[in-house]
Amino acid sequence: MNKSVFSAVVVVAVLGGWMASGVSGNDSEQKDKPLEVKKKPLMKVTVLESKVKTVQRFVTVQGQVEANRSVEIKVEVDGRIAEIAVQEGQRIASGVSIVTLSADYRLKQLAQAKAVLRQRNSDLSASRKLKKRGMIAENRLIADQAGVQTARAELALIQHEVDSASVQAPFDGVLNSRVVELGDYLQKGNVVGVLVDDTVLKVTGQVPQKNVGDLQLNQAVEISLSNGLSAFGNLAFISRIADSVTRSYRVEVTLDNPQLKRLIGLTASLKLPLGTEQGHLLPNSVLGLSTNGDLQVKLLDRQNQVSTAVVEIIRTDKQGFWFKGLAENITVITEGKDFVSNDEIVEPVSAVTASTDINSSTVDTADSQLAAKE
């Protein structure tokens, strides 16, 4: 072989080997280099820090407003109505005469009874003198004493009938109805009208048996009336016996009515205190349902890991719900709970920060729009 040809072959072989080794080296380095994995961004959720507080429990029941006292006025003796002194709707004081029955014949009976009593007293006085002289027997004196007692009893009976001819109000109130007219003849027990005391009212309702044990007499009760008015009263009565049908207990709440408003007969709502409990006040947005239908909320631990807790509602509030069944201090998800699962790591954003970001974004957008116009 020609020497120059041999030299050319050697040069080509060396160059080929060098190029092959260079390519092979790059592939090896790429294989040894670890693959870069793009991390999936964490889901952002809005959270709220909450600390347990003492909350007042209530039970709300429906009821109605009744008069504190209401009575049918009835006559105690027979007679014809001679005078009507009070009209329907008139407010009267205790002791005021409402109607008066004719009492002419009773006045005559009263005069006769008084005369008989005087005669019996005179006979008894004479018998005592004669007894001292020994001129009459002991039984004669005893008979005259009995005669005096009988005459006194008859006089008292007639006097009561005369007094009862005037039918009087037993307490302060309003004659809400009157069912008689002048000249009507009434018999003992007939109704004249209905007297109502509306200076103090009572609101009655039925409390479930599971709650009645937590009630306390004289505690303040919030009352909401069907006419839009609201007030506070005092729990004055709790029945000792449950209703035979509903198994609930009757309660009465007294309500002062100094302005004498027409409230009797209105429906009312009673908000009765039941004691206190520990709970968290959280917005409505935290609440969800488990697959079993239980109420639940989603929480974050210190590692921002999602967990679920079953809760019970203590009561509702204008700001949301009071829940029990949670730890003393919690971080609860308020927005985004439906997009995360248990054990998932998330990026929490406090409710305050989220609100600030929204406001900031709104300002930036407004500034951009102004700049574009300029």
Tokens read off for 293: 């239908």
Q: Residue 38: its pLDDT value, please?
A: 64
Instruction: Answer whether 101's CB lies under 8 Å from 167's CB.
Output: yes
Half-sphere exposure of 303 (CA within 13 A, CB side): 7
pLDDT tens digits, one per residue of 144-157: 899 999 999 999 99
**Rounded to 5 degrees, what are φ and ψ at 116?**
-60, -40
Q: What is the pTM of this model?
A: 0.67
Q: Which CATH architecture has domain 103-164?
A: Orthogonal Bundle (1.10)
Please tell me the CATH code under which domain 47-54+278-355 is placed. 2.40.420.20
What are 81's strand-pairing partners? Answer: 101
Please report how many Cα atoms fall inside a 13 Å half-sphere around the Cα of residue 74, on the Cβ side: 8
Confirm if 71 and 94 have CB atoms less than 8 A apart.
no
CB proximity list for 337: less than 8 A, separation 6 or greater? 45, 286, 288, 297, 298
pLDDT at residue number 351: 76
* Tens digits of residue pLDDT in 118-166: 999 998 898 888 888 888 888 888 998 999 999 999 999 999 888 889 9
Alpha-carbon distance of 346 to 13, in angstroms, equals: 60
* Dihedral, CA of residue 328, residue 331, residue 335 and residue 338, to nearest 10: -90
Which residues does the chain have with pLDDT short of 50?
1-3, 5-15, 17-18, 20-25, 353-374
Q: What is the CATH number of domain 59-66+197-275?
A: 2.40.30.170
Q: Domain-by-domain residue ranges, the chain? A: 47-54+278-355, 59-66+197-275, 103-164
Between the alpha carbon of residue 146 and those of residues 112, 133, 135, 136, 156, the distances in Å are 18, 21, 19, 16, 15
Closest by Cα among 337, 353, 345, 311 to 52: 311
